[in-house]
Amino acid sequence: MKIAIQLAMPAELRALPGMSGAEPDEIVSGVPVFRIEPDLLAVCGGVGKVNAAMATELLCLRFGTELILNAGVAGCLTDLPAGTLVAVSEFVQHDVDTTAVGDPIGLVSTVNQTVFPTWEPERCRDALRELGFPCETGRAATGDWFAVSGRRAEWIRDTFHPVLTEMEGGAIAQVCLRSGVRFVSVKSVSDRLFAPEQLREYFDFDQALQNLGRAVLPLARKLREEN
Q: Which is the catalytic residue, given 12, 90, 168, 201? A: 12
Q: Which is the catalytic residue, given 90, 168, 191, 201? A: 191
| Domain residue spans of the chain | 3-226
List CB contacts of 21: < 8 A, sequence separation 6 or more.
14
Cβ contact 93:113 at 8 Å: no
- Angstrom distance (rounded) from CA 55 to CA 50: 9
CA angle 62, 64, 67 (to 5 degrees): 130
- Residue environment code for 97-129, b if the CB has 16+ CB neighbours within 10 A, otherwise e: eeeeeeeeebbbeeeeebbbebbebeebbebbe
Assign 107 to helix, strand or coil.
Answer: coil
The answer, yes or no, to whether residue 43 has pLDDT greater than 90, is yes
Binning pLDDT at 50, 70 and 90, where does residue 196 land? confident
Q: What is the CATH T-level fold of the domain 3-226, as seen in this structure? A: Rossmann fold (3.40.50)
Cβ contact 93:108 at 8 Å: yes
- The DSSP bridge partners found for residue 108 are 113
pLDDT in tens, 87-115: 999 999 999 999 999 999 999 999 999 99
The answer, yes or no, to whether residue 2 has pLDDT greater than 90, is yes
pLDDT in tens, 171-188: 999 999 999 999 999 999
- Whole-model pTM: value is 0.96
**Sign of torsion over alpha carbons 12, 16, 22, 23:** negative
Radius of gyration of the chain (CA): 16
List CB contacts of 5: < 8 A, sequence separation 6 or more.
16, 36, 40, 41, 42, 43, 68, 69, 70, 71, 216, 217, 220
Q: Select from 132, 128, 114, 226 the least CA-distant residue to 185.
A: 128
- Angstrom distance (rounded) from CA 214 to CA 65: 23
Q: Select from 127, 103, 78 the least CA-distant residue to 226.
A: 127
- Angstrom distance (rounded) from CA 98 to CA 109: 9
**Burial zone of 81 (CB within 10 Å; 0-12 exposed, 13-18 middle, 19+ buried):** exposed
Average pLDDT on 165-176 reads 98
Q: Is 12 a catalytic residue?
A: yes
Given this model, what pLDDT does residue 202 score?
A: 82
Given this model, what pLDDT does residue 211 score?
A: 95
- Angstrom distance (rounded) from CA 173 to CA 179: 10
